[in-house]
Amino acid sequence: MPVFNAAATCDHALASLVAQTFADFEVIAVDDGSTDASLTQLQRWAARDSRIRVIVAPHRGLVQALNHGLDHCSGEYVARMDADDWSHPERLHRQRLLLCEQSDISVAGCLVEAFPPQQVGEGFRIYLDWLNALVQPADIAREIFIESPIVHPSAMMYREELLSLGGYQDHGWPEDYDLWLRYHTAGKRFAKVPAPLFRWREHPARMTHTDSRYSVENFIRAKARYLLDGPLRTRTNPIIWGAGKTGRRLAKHLERGGRQPHCFVDIAPDKIGGTLRRAPIIAPCELPTHWHSLSRPILLVAVASRGARQLIRAHLRGLSLTEARDFYCTT
């Protein structure tokens, strides 16, 4: 179900789709009010391949275009792709095979490569390394409150399940991350084909760089919403590790949802002993005392410093705390 609005690259995207070894499929190509030659390109492809259906709509934005395309899908599976990306000829076949062989999996992804190399910055490479290290369901579930663990245009899902979960929704934060968090909250599982079957085009105009829904603040809003709906639903007064900007932002949104932090943990001497949002800031050595004072404690790691996450995880495991039960990393 591609969404097309870039004539210069949709030829490449369509070529990679029609070359799929999984031949029993149709392409629902949604032209979301394009103003270039996209529609002409789509109609040219549709005229020579009956599997391609072109849906022409006025520009309403990505979420509406996705739902519009979903309304026209009729198969058991839905696979996403954008107009400027590329899929390996075996992508759909191998993702469907994963879903058939692992009946407990709801979303099949794959490993991802970014191109063109001159556009891929250090931050994007770090994200891809993290992303491609998450293959098994437990790994993806463990990291889901850190960042979006599945590249949306690389995913395959069951159509009926996607519809039952409400399709695509616009809450002011990334629609793809929102979808994965809803899947996770509903107890659904993710896995990836352990092969690079999708190439993701990086460019300055990509929505991740230009749309305010992808701001750090809006990612934190999304995490807070689904932490409240999930791990914090039956727990109050979470402990937050991190009294910096990220921890403050997360605490703010949790408070708005009725969860006042019990305390903050930090290693900065100038912060320890103070307060933040009416809660004390404690040193890591004080954590066991506070932990055992609570009836159903939970800790959220909200530290953005690169490399700090693994050190904090090691410390918490040394206290016999279990990730995805006693604590969650959120950044």
10 Å Cβ neighbour count for 234? 8
For CATH 3.90.550.10, the residue range(s) in the chain are: 2-214
Least reliable range by pLDDT among 32-46, 217-231, 259-273, 312-326: 32-46
pLDDT reading at 25 higher than 80? yes
CATH number of 216-329: 3.40.50.720
Q: Which of 124-133, 165-174, 302-311 has the lowest mean pLDDT?
A: 302-311
- For residue 134 the two structure tokens come to 């998450």
pLDDT at 7 over 50: no
> What fold characterizes domain 2-214?
Spore Coat Polysaccharide Biosynthesis Protein SpsA; Chain A (3.90.550)
Kindly indicate the confidence band of residue 238, based on its pLDDT and cuts at 50, 70 and 90. Answer: very high
Instruction: State residue 215's pLDDT score.
Output: 93
Picking from 248, 245, 323, 273, the residue whose alpha carbon sits closest to that of residue 312 is 323
Mean pLDDT confidence for 253-257: 97
The pLDDT, as a whole number, for residue 216 is 93
Residue 1 has pLDDT above 70, yes or no: no
245, pLDDT greater than 70: yes
Residue 69 has pLDDT above 60, yes or no: yes
| CATH 3.40.50.720, the chain: domain bounds | 216-329
Top pLDDT among 59 and 139 is at: 139
pLDDT in tens, 256-267: 999 999 999 999
Average pLDDT (5-11) is 55
Query: Using 50, 70 and 90 to split pLDDT, how confident is the model at 122?
Result: very high
Q: Give the span between the Cα atoms of 30 and 92, in whole angstroms.
A: 19
pLDDT > 90? residue 22:
no
The predicted structure's pLDDT at residue 327: 98
Average pLDDT of 168-196?
A: 97
Q: Are 4 and 69 in contact (CB under 8 A)?
A: no
Going from the C-alpha of 18 to that of each of 91, 106, 136, the distances in angstroms are 12, 24, 29
- Whether the pLDDT of residue 2 is over 50: the answer is no
Q: Given this model, what pLDDT does residue 9 score?
A: 59
Residues 6+ apart with CB under 8 A from 50: none
